A and B are shown apart, each in its own frame.
Chain A
């Protein structure tokens, strides 16, 4: 028994960063699929917000064609915002997060892995649902394709920025409302360029520049946001 002990320690120390990240992603996916309600909520919310616009503003085809991409983007943004609370909440409540902070692997990479898992269960389904809603809003085929592309680049940015806000407001009583106040200002640039791209595509102007800028947002968010979110997590954990 005592002879085996160092061996065990050696094995745990040898868990590579990549496999630790992979474990986190797999674990988060598994736990989300065991709570299907949480998985479906943002999607249903996305659908319902989009439904409100034709009913509340105008069901005219010309209006929907003009503002459909904006409606879809705003709805996707709100749906992401709604789901952010779950990003760290469960792990925070049951203490898993503290164990993650204590791991030898860098925390920002684990945060990146958690954010990736979050995007896979919230962002990706939104993108898959978007073409259906696009057709319901009478968007043209080309616009729908560009819209999905912008959502594909943009929703990971939303998840990454959102991770910072979720980490900062972790464990606060008025966390949910505060989270929207902190995060929406930072979402606005992504929204502007996301809908700008689709508008440019609808006008028949080249969209390469817009897409490059959005990709730049994504690169910036992937490289910087996990650091900020990891720092915020440490602060929130030391607070509780």
Chain B
């Protein structure tokens, strides 16, 4: 157990292990996401009220879901950075933040596209929408602060502090639809209850959520690997690795 924990501190070890499971993450994620999307967009039944326009949830819900949980993952990694000074945790935060920002933007954009035919407006200053917008700003703040500080260690710790301060927003987003009377509907999935949709709708949705999770894992690993090569470019193993053409 402890050996594993110590190994986690080594970027070189991570580089090797990531190579082994990244193909799995990628192909499984792609298959699940494509399967979920094709099923959801082409074969799932029409909504009796919204017709076909509801189908955007197969993109909207996975990206919104992931936008929030990526931030939580970053916060956990931030604690690890501050407590154990683990390089990998910081690599993860730096790798995940831009992806999180894109996912948040995607969630807001698809929400707006869906809102126009359904609510009759692109945007409304509703608690859920506003708190997602704040999340986007938080992600951008993390990205910009990280790139503004040139020293690697200081940058890691400063970003970790910022991520942890911003984590107060996550419960606000999560519960905004329950605390306030918002136009946005309550959560689609809950651990404790059966979804209110028929199985032909929620199964493909669940598939695309899982697929996007796996693909995010793949992308995060890839970005971390790239960053590892950049940061460790002066070490022997990276030089050997590059000179042998990556084998």
Q: Cβ of B24 < 8 Å from any Cβ of A? A: no
Interface string of B149-172 (1 = CB under 8 A from A): 101011001100110111011001
Task: Give the contact-size bracket for chain B.
Answer: 20 to 34
B140, chain A: closest CB distance, angstroms: 7
Q: Contact partner of A185 among B134, B149, B161, CB < 8 A?
A: B134
Residues of A with C-beta under 8 A to B153: 238
Majority SS at the chain A contact face: helix
Instruction: Say yes or no: A228 contacts B164, CB within 8 Å.
Output: yes
Instruction: Say yes or no: A181 contacts B148, CB within 8 Å.
Output: no
Residues of B with C-beta under 8 A to A235: 154, 157-158, 161
Residues of B with C-beta under 8 A to A182: 141, 145, 162
Residues of B with C-beta under 8 A to A189: 172
Interface string of A137-159 (1 = CB under 8 A from B): 00000000000000000000000
Instruction: Say yes or no: B149 contacts A239, CB within 8 Å.
Output: yes
Instruction: Say yes or no: A168 contacts B162, CB within 8 Å.
Output: yes
- Measured CB to CB, the nearest residue on chain A to B148 is A172
Residues of B with C-beta under 8 A to A219: none
In Å, the complex CA distance between A186 and B170 comes to 12
Q: Cβ of B110 < 8 Å from any Cβ of A? A: no
- Measured CB to CB, the nearest residue on chain A to B169 is A185
Q: Cβ of A236 < 8 Å from any Cβ of B? A: yes
Residues of A with C-beta under 8 A to B109: none
Q: Cβ of A40 < 8 Å from any Cβ of B? A: no
Q: Cβ of B182 < 8 Å from any Cβ of A? A: no
Instruction: Say yes or no: B137 contacts A184, CB within 8 Å.
Output: yes
Q: Cβ of B122 < 8 Å from any Cβ of A? A: no
Pick from A232, A236, A239 the residue with the most CB of B within 10 Å.
Answer: A239
Residues of A with C-beta under 8 A to B21: none
In Å, the complex CA distance between A224 and B164 comes to 11
Instruction: Say yes or no: A181 contacts B158, CB within 8 Å.
Output: no
Residues of B with C-beta under 8 A to A200: none
Instruction: Say yes or no: B148 contacts A236, CB within 8 Å.
Output: no
In Å, the complex CA distance between A117 and B153 comes to 31
Instruction: Say yes or no: B145 contacts A168, CB within 8 Å.
Output: yes
Interface string of A201-240 (1 = CB under 8 A from B): 0000000000000000000000000001001100110110
Chain B residues near A (Cβ < 8 Å): 82, 130, 134, 137-138, 140-141, 144-145, 148-149, 151, 153-154, 157-158, 161-162, 164-166, 168-169, 172
With A178-B141, A181-B137, A188-B130 given, name 11 new contacts (CB 8 A).
A168-B161, A172-B149, A173-B148, A174-B148, A184-B137, A185-B141, A185-B166, A228-B165, A231-B157, A231-B161, A235-B158
